[in-house]
Chain A
Amino acid sequence: MWLFLGIIFSVGTLIPGKLSLKLQYDGDQVLHIVPETFQQVQHLQHLCSTLLLDLWKPLQPEDIWAGEDLHIRVPAPLVQEVKDSLAQHMISYRVLIPDVHKLVDQSMPRERSNHRQVSESYVYTQYHPMEEIYQWMSQIQKSNSELVTQHYLGKTTENRTMYYLQISQPSDKTKKIIWMDCGIHAREWISPAFCQWFVKEILQNYKSDPKINRFLQNLDLYILPVLNIDGYIYSWEKDRFWRKNRAPYMNGTCYGTDLNRNFNSSWGTKFQVFQIDNTSVGVSYNCDSEIFCGSGPESEPETRAVAQFIKRKKNDILCYLTIHSYGQYILTPYGSTTKPPSNSEELMHVAEKAAAALMEKYGTSYKVGPTSLILYNNSGSSRDWAHMIPFSYTFELQDNGTYGFVLPPEQIQPTCEETMLAVTTIIDYVGQKYFPGGAVMLTSSSLGLSLCLTVAFKWTVS
């Protein structure tokens, strides 16, 4: 196998630039065939010479024998034709390498070394374990220190430190706050991936993007990339489908509280559903359950860390966003009752705007509405508890269920790009609602002009 890669490397180095290597082998497959009859051998020899296929083993068509291994690299555009031809001649094959480029790519030395250092080359289109996310946070602060500060929020059950990032444009204005948390549920890996993406996008574009520039003048963004750190680590190391935190119960025979049932909003309320059966849903008092609400409201240190912070700052927080997966929803309060909150019309209007903006990107359709009507009843959720904050939303990101929690890394970018549009629509709305008639950003090239206008405006008003 490595000899073959060696061949590729040597061919690759003859072609300048990684780009040409990518074009050369993208989608190519290597097939393993053991011809059974002389007729099959003849057909294979014919195929190799007419289509100029790349024989890896043996090296020459005349060395193809019945009963002996044959490895052929088939260029991507010919893959289907070759497979059809093999099927037609009843020649069975096995795909040895499904994508030559991918394999080469994985073997190529990367910008980030085996020690997985995080720098400007942080790969946002892959999932990262917690240790890399910690490194990313301090690196982000170091490289963007004029805007970003990392803050201590609290400790987890297993005594790990919870940090949030504050993105704040230097100014003498008092700002209001947008809070976003990711990773309440361990297995929802796309969620922390989105928080990281979001931070990167803001930092890359705050000068050039008029919408971001505008809202950053009056709003600080507080991002908690992973709320349930212990659970997240557990989902990497032990059980990919773990959801809860890692609090021990029942003398260590059972683990985990669902942090999104642990907040103090109708905590522990169950719901009888339908007359036909008496199943109660929404929450469980049993540690074995995935929706175990804990031993009391805010029984978990992770919940307390978030709740205490938000309570302290509640007069300044205008928007609470919590990111989950999957299902493609933008959810409004409440889960515990179908009685709508007092500002439900406006909440729905903004959510619909956000879903429309999201859909523009790739046509992905999100459902919008209160949890109790479009998903299920639940109690103790963070978003319901945060409803003292005027704009409180839960996002359930892609996908619709085909991959569910194990969303492939190729989906990270499109999911994050479209979700970015939805989230910035909401933040922008909130900014404009509470700070109307602020500086109007025309284009980045007129930044100077509008700053002058802002100064003039402030000066006139003061």
Chain B
Amino acid sequence: MELPRGPAATELPPSHYSATRAAALAACYICHRLGSPGHGLAPRTVRRAHRQDIDGVGHKYYLELVLEDITDNDRTVNCTAEVLYHLGNKNIAPDVQFTTEGELQNTDEADNIFYNRIKSLEKELVAENIPDSHGNVSPEMQPIQLLAWVASGFVIWQNSTENTKFQLAQIKHVKQVKRSDEYLEFDYKILLHEMVSQEIIPWQMTVLWHPQHGVQVTQDSRQPKHASE
């Protein structure tokens, strides 16, 4: 991949934590943009990483990374990504640009089946603890889990810094919200695990999805940690 002009970009060992954190962030962003209840992506390896310190702007990472399909981890996608963490102001999400190589798996069929299934439910879907304490997820809840994974990519991207590495830990609660239009809407309460502080952070997110229109998080908010007993 081409490196930019400007301040020199130093090469990082691919396993250095700053490279893996930037890669995880890029993966979240890419997954949010491309994912669906039938298709989620997760970071697999970092092939190469460079970092550039841009005075007055922030730190920019140039990454070559491999993502894997969550439901079939023999399936991988090669990507490049540029991640810019802005200096100072923590309220601005990092800028992410990416390219993917080759065709992504087509999950239209699975997406449509899930869409029709939910649309035809008499009562709104409600579920808790996905996965459960032992890691089990029923097959019928897998698209709900994947949808949360994809949507959490947005929340993670919006809230990441160079000192954080977030992961979706669990869906505590999910409730479908019936809509009169063609979109599906779910209200999720999720737990995010932040690796550096080791905190488990409850987060609420409202997720809209339609097979042709992708995944949108229309509203999200960090929730207070339960008072420790």
Chain A interface residues toward B at CB < 8 A: 29, 83-84, 87, 90, 92-95, 98-99, 126-127, 236, 238, 240-241, 243, 253-256, 258, 273-274, 276-277, 279, 281, 284, 287-291, 327, 365, 367-369, 373-376, 400-409, 411
Contacts and interface: CB of A to CB of B under 8 A. Distances in A.
Interface in B127-163: 131-140, 161-163
B227 to A, nearest CB: 8
Nearest to A280: B163
A98 B140 contact: yes
Given A287-B228, A406-B169, 7 more contacts: A87-B112, A276-B88, A288-B225, A375-B195, A406-B135, A409-B134, A409-B135
The 3 closest A-B pairs by CB, nearest first: A92-B120, A408-B135, A290-B198
A406 B228 contact: no
B59 interface: yes
A281 B42 contact: no
A274 B229 contact: no
A127 B134 contact: yes
A370 to B, nearest CB: 10
Given A238-B229, A243-B198, A255-B229, A276 B59 contact: yes
Interface of B: 13, 15-17, 20, 24, 42-45, 58-59, 70, 85, 87-88, 90, 109, 112-113, 116-117, 120-121, 131-140, 161-163, 167-170, 191, 193, 195-200, 225, 228-229
20 contacts: A92-B121, A94-B117, A95-B140, A240-B133, A255-B228, A276-B58, A276-B88, A276-B162, A277-B88, A281-B197, A289-B197, A365-B44, A375-B17, A376-B196, A400-B42, A402-B42, A404-B193, A405-B169, A409-B135, A411-B135
A374 B70 contact: no
A87 to B, nearest CB: 5
A262 B97 CA distance: 41
B169 to A, nearest CB: 6
A374 B20 contact: yes
Contacts of A92: 116-117, 120-121
Contacts of B24: 401
Given A240-B133, A373-B16, A290 B199 contact: yes
Contacts of A408: 131, 134-137
Nearest to A254: B228
Contacts of A279: 163
A332 to B, nearest CB: 12
Contact of A401 (B45, B109, B167): B167
Q: Which of B45, B133, B198, B225 has the largest number of chain A CB atoms within 10 A?
A: B198
A400 B121 CA distance: 34
Contacts of A374: 15-17, 20
A258 B134 contact: no
Given A90-B116, A406-B170, A288 B15 contact: no
A409 B136 contact: yes
Contacts, number: 125
Nearest to A374: B15
Contacts of A287: 228
A126 B195 CA distance: 26
A290 B200 contact: yes
A369 B16 CA distance: 9
A404 B139 contact: no
Contacts of A87: 112-113, 116
Nearest to A96: B140
A74 to B, nearest CB: 13
A277 B168 CA distance: 25
A400 B44 CA distance: 8
A98 B45 CA distance: 33
A343 B15 CA distance: 21
Q: Which of A281, A287, A374 has the largest number of chain B CB atoms within 10 A?
A: A374
Given A276-B88, A291-B197, A95 B16 contact: no
Given A281-B196, A367-B15, A276 B87 contact: yes
B43 A400 contact: yes
A407 B137 CA distance: 11
A255 B70 CA distance: 36
Contacts of B109: 84
A93 B162 CA distance: 46
B27 to A, nearest CB: 10
A365 B17 CA distance: 16
Contact of B117 (A93, A98, A288): A93
A392 B136 CA distance: 34
B139 A98 contact: yes
Contacts of A403: 131, 135
Contacts of B87: 276
A87 B108 CA distance: 13
Contacts of A90: 116
B204 to A, nearest CB: 17
Nearest to B88: A276
Contacts of B170: 240-241, 406
A373 B18 CA distance: 9
Contacts of B42: 400-402
B118 to A, nearest CB: 9
Contacts of A255: 228-229
A68 B37 CA distance: 30
Contacts of A29: 139
A404 B200 CA distance: 12
Contacts of B136: 408-409
A130 B152 CA distance: 33
B11 to A, nearest CB: 14
Given A241-B169, A281-B196, A376 B17 contact: yes
A368 B138 CA distance: 34
A277 B163 contact: yes
Nearest to A187: B200
